[in-house]
Structure 1
């Protein structure tokens, strides 16, 4: 989009048009406006940032933090709840006239039932009340496809969902901006604006928002048809000259990609992961990078730039302050201060948001509280040394049972699709809400045929990205071993792969049960796209519910299906 000096009305029109596909950004700062209304004093800007909220309107659980009495120890505290997050935002905003609130992606998608059942409209409405300014799209924003994501921005009721959409009156969509600088349409424009320009004391600041370039590997192909996902650093660097031509010197990047570190939530010990290389490749104009995706908390300086992340689920937020220099019109060197803060519940929640959450909790209660069966103990996602989990085993067992009529002899479940532990209540009871929180995607079962050699290749693809190993959860009767020391591509000895104790034949055919996401090559399991004789099945959460109905009390499996060798 080409920017020129415009009147206010034209600026609004340009920003509106940008939502329908643009090649640049919104905000409409022109170089001819540089001297009008600009502060002659340094301008202090406050950013409030969070990431990977995933529709967690209610407190998702306790947060482990350093013990104030002894920092060498940790304690668990209550943290989170969108009404408390909103109260903290309101409190900080009241103290600073130049405040901007940003989300680094996965605001929606893989959400608990109170938001997910209503197509994440409750989360969008809550963020409107909270005062979110912009959200860089993440991979989970595409869970239900690009058209549904556009509805999240533009509003309107979901077609074919009269009992679950627009339950709080007409859904108006997000009052904040979705940004997608590196998500290109076939016509060359971006799905959402590449950036948002905001002025503080008359000085413009550009916020570039984008998702990880690897999004196509972790979302269903049908939802992103016609879209391409560009390199993160290259996308930013291509935009810098355009922003400079508009008189913008201060640039903040908000990106749904991240890293890992071993310290507490305000440290940066041994930081690693994709974000490190991305930051090192960025144009020097970028001084601040807000990140997400890895569900980690860190407060780093990488290559001289501040890089932050606030864990997930609205339990932390990052408070960032920086100073704009009225002469250089850029971030003053050394002025960026950042701190990850707990969304503590020692503040009065924001009433309007509390009321919204209660409305949806009341609507969902009859469904959420329905008992679907019992479990003999906690079914968690704590992995064995080999990567096997109790809950992953149960999910795979449920899917195998659902595929038995189509001849399935093994089920494979991608670990990222198992989202929450199942902790039974009184009498071992398990509710539908717990199952939905565990399997929130609405993926459909697919039975297909693979050869023994292709099954071996499938297992090897668990290490297709050595930095993000994905150990498939497998159903009972299937077993194999893998070697820690062996190189990627040779981790699994095909002779160790057995079904009901019998080694597989590389040339024989086997019926395999998977969900439609990995059946389409998601998470890098591309060999599954070669599977033939496909038969569709039920929805993942329904399959799990049926299993609990027939197998309760569901036992806690012994973790003996996958073995790790030295």
Structure 2
């Protein structure tokens, strides 16, 4: 059912109804029965906003997730997403309100993409989003992965300089038209001009009703983008940027204001389509409270979580997970006499595809009856197949076997099976290869945000490994003292931290520690006390604060990404190979790869 909030009483005086022509009994002064009856003017309009967020070029499949199931309180796993399935569900939802629907998006539509899109500079993702009918989107942090000029090219069109036309760029008759939709960035300032890089807002008229959209990304974008991506840009405060545009939208006589905010929170949710925002992360709740009450709905993103609720001040809040797994629908009922919202409702609709999820025994999991199992839209499927067929000889290469499917999803301690495996592979690369013989790594780590997809089958292909690690990171090995390792662990929770963005790290085998959930999250930098003293060990031996250890990470974390600033103080760096290259090597030499145990991080309380 839709989350609902009625904001104005549903009552009018007879005089008012007569004035706007809603009551036929008010008459025109003629009693000629031969007059043809006129259709009464409508008194309300219902506008349906259909949103996706954090699409990340997931053209083929969005992976699996737990969905609500009345027969299973813990949720039932289903396969979700895929652009052709997404279009099918969008069209179903639009069919109930064909004149009053608009499709929008909320950033990270590109970047960290599977090879089917990334191999062609995310031009396929933009092409598909155009075909899905997206009309407006905010930018997200990943829109800046390759810098502002590349983003502007993807928006405005044209071939990528230096790439081979028809092979790497402009695959459609040597051309790329760019985004047909409005990309918004209300808080993204170009330091060359001291003006906004992109428009901050746009007004769309849907079924005669004006809607105002404000789009922006998180202020902390530079801390979650690889070095160089945000050069020449500044990111202003989200709340101030939103509120500054409200008067202008009011002057343009909009009936409602929707914010597309590429920032988000976390909640206590068992499934991706829970109908609540229980335990919404406090820092993000505080940010939302600062947004003007003139805003009717805030679409959020970034944390890849699904949630929906009504905030204390009446604003609707909704987030649609990621990868096209959900469509966030908001229905606004507009009083045409007052040009205002009188009712608003929301719902997250799972995009359940026909691929099917398997349980640990390899048996198909039955989809709950409340969800339609979707087929592919043929037009979108053909677009995706065009690009997939170009890379199929590469992506379908089998590189190895695993003993069971492995997921990115972390347990209650913050430990992910797949992140553990990635850390183990980083350790293997930087301790076993001859280039590291003189100073081999002892510990390796990775950020959960850098592990982007599950390994869903026991046969592992090159394309699947690319989906897991699409960023093109390299291994960086440096000296760290035991004290710096403790500091790094605390920085997983300390401020400053992008709202709701868990920065848990995965560690290699032999490394272990405990943390205490009773200690506050978000402590000021340098003051966190969540790591239990003496619990940090390497092969069972406590880490000594003054001792030096050889530690490997990806170059994003090594450069202080995710506000892991202690990494910038490490010394004696050695840069290594591309992570995808040595991961393929690992699988090819390993035979059967066993899933690592989740025994490296212990949560207390």
Q: Which residue of 2 aligns with 1:185?
A: 190
Q: Which residue of 2 aligns with 1:416?
A: 449
What does the per-residue CA deviation read over 1:206-246, in whole Å, with 9 as the maximum and x for residues that have no partner? Answer: 10001122222222231012222222221111111233344
Q: Which residue of 2 aligns with 1:555?
A: 594
Supply the distance in 1 between the matched residues of 2:73 and 2:80 (Cα, whole angstroms). 21
Supply the distance in 2 between the matched residues of 1:512 and 1:246 (Cα, whole angstroms). 56
What does the per-residue CA deviation read over 1:362-412, in whole Å, with 9 as the maximum and x for residues that have no partner? Answer: 112111111112223333335455433332222112112322334232212
Deviation of residue 100 (structure 1)? Answer: 1.7
Supply the distance in 1 between the matched residues of 2:414 and 2:270 (Cα, whole angstroms). 23
70-79 or 370-379, larger mean C-alpha shift: 70-79
Q: Is residue 2:545 matched to residue 1:506?
A: yes
Q: Which residue of 1 aligns with 2:132?
A: 130
Q: Which residue of 1 aligns with 2:330?
A: 320
Cα 1:421–1:91 change in 2 (3 A) is closer
Cα 1:350–1:374 change in 2 (3 A) is closer
Cα 1:469–1:359 change in 2 (3 A) is closer
| Stretches of structure 2 lacking an aligned partner (at least 5 in a row) | 1-40, 354-372
* Alpha-carbon contact 1:43-1:200 (below 8 Å) kept: no
Supply the distance in 2 between the matched residues of 1:249 and 1:341 (Cα, whole angstroms). 25
CA-based RMSD of the aligned residues comes to 2.7
| Stretches of structure 1 lacking an aligned partner (at least 5 in a row) | 1-38
Q: Which residue of 1 aligns with 2:468?
A: 438
* Alpha-carbon contact 1:137-1:180 (below 8 Å) kept: yes
For the pair shown, the structure with the greater C-alpha radius of gyration is 2
Supply the distance in 2 between the matched residues of 1:494 and 1:78 (Cα, whole angstroms). 42
85-94 or 229-238, larger mean C-alpha shift: 85-94
Q: Which residue of 2 aligns with 1:22?
A: none
* Alpha-carbon contact 1:182-1:230 (below 8 Å) kept: yes
Q: Which residue of 2 aligns with 1:53?
A: 55
* Alpha-carbon contact 2:187-2:196 (below 8 Å) kept: yes
Q: How many pairs does the alignment contain?
A: 522
What does the per-residue CA deviation read over 1:495-517, in whole Å, with 9 as the maximum and x for residues that have no partner? Answer: 44344455444334333211111
Deviation of residue 78 (structure 1)? Answer: 4.7
* Alpha-carbon contact 1:548-1:554 (below 8 Å) kept: yes
Q: Which residue of 2 aligns with 1:150?
A: 152
Q: Which residue of 2 aligns with 1:165?
A: 169
Q: Is residue 2:211 matched to residue 1:205?
A: yes
In the TM superposition, 1:110-121 aligns within 5 A as: 110-121=112-123
Deviation of residue 92 (structure 1)? Answer: 4.3
452-461 or 155-164, larger mean C-alpha shift: 155-164
Q: Which residue of 2 aligns with 1:478?
A: 511
* Alpha-carbon contact 1:299-1:308 (below 8 Å) kept: yes
Cα 1:343–1:501 change in 2 (3 A) is closer
What does the per-residue CA deviation read over 1:500-536, in whole Å, with 9 as the maximum and x for residues that have no partner? Answer: 4554443343332111111121112101111233332
Cα 1:375–1:343 change in 2 (3 A) is closer
Cα 1:131–1:384 change in 2 (3 A) is closer
Q: TM-score, normalised by structure 1?
A: 0.84
Residue 463 of structure 1 aligns to a residue whose secondary structure is coil
Supply the distance in 2 between the matched residues of 1:285 and 1:376 (Cα, whole angstroms). 54
Deviation of residue 275 (structure 1)? Answer: 4.2
Cα 1:347–1:262 change in 2 (3 A) is closer
Q: TM-score, normalised by structure 2?
A: 0.79
Cα 1:423–1:223 change in 2 (3 A) is same
What does the per-residue CA deviation read over 1:437-457, in whole Å, with 9 as the maximum and x for residues that have no partner? Answer: 111111222222323322221
Supply the distance in 2 between the matched residues of 1:201 and 1:359 (Cα, whole angstroms). 35
Cα 1:382–1:128 change in 2 (3 A) is closer
Deviation of residue 182 (structure 1)? Answer: 1.3
Q: Which residue of 2 aligns with 1:452?
A: 482
Residue 58 of structure 2 aligns to a residue whose secondary structure is coil
Q: Which residue of 2 aligns with 1:30?
A: none
Q: Is residue 2:414 matched to residue 1:390?
A: no
* Alpha-carbon contact 1:390-1:559 (below 8 Å) kept: yes
Residue 153 of structure 2 aligns to a residue whose secondary structure is helix
Cα 1:198–1:563 change in 2 (3 A) is closer
Q: Which residue of 2 aligns with 1:360?
A: 387
524-533 or 481-490, larger mean C-alpha shift: 481-490
* Alpha-carbon contact 1:263-1:269 (below 8 Å) kept: no
* Alpha-carbon contact 1:61-1:79 (below 8 Å) kept: yes
Supply the distance in 2 between the matched residues of 1:289 and 1:185 (Cα, whole angstroms). 25
Q: Which residue of 1 aligns with 2:3?
A: none
Supply the distance in 2 between the matched residues of 1:63 and 1:513 (Cα, whole angstroms). 31
Supply the distance in 1 between the matched residues of 2:457 and 2:250 (Cα, whole angstroms). 57
Deviation of residue 201 (structure 1)? Answer: 5.3
Supply the distance in 2 between the matched residues of 1:263 and 1:559 (Cα, whole angstroms). 20
Supply the distance in 2 between the matched residues of 1:456 and 1:237 (Cα, whole angstroms). 40
Alignment match of 2:180 (pick from 166, 175, 181): 175
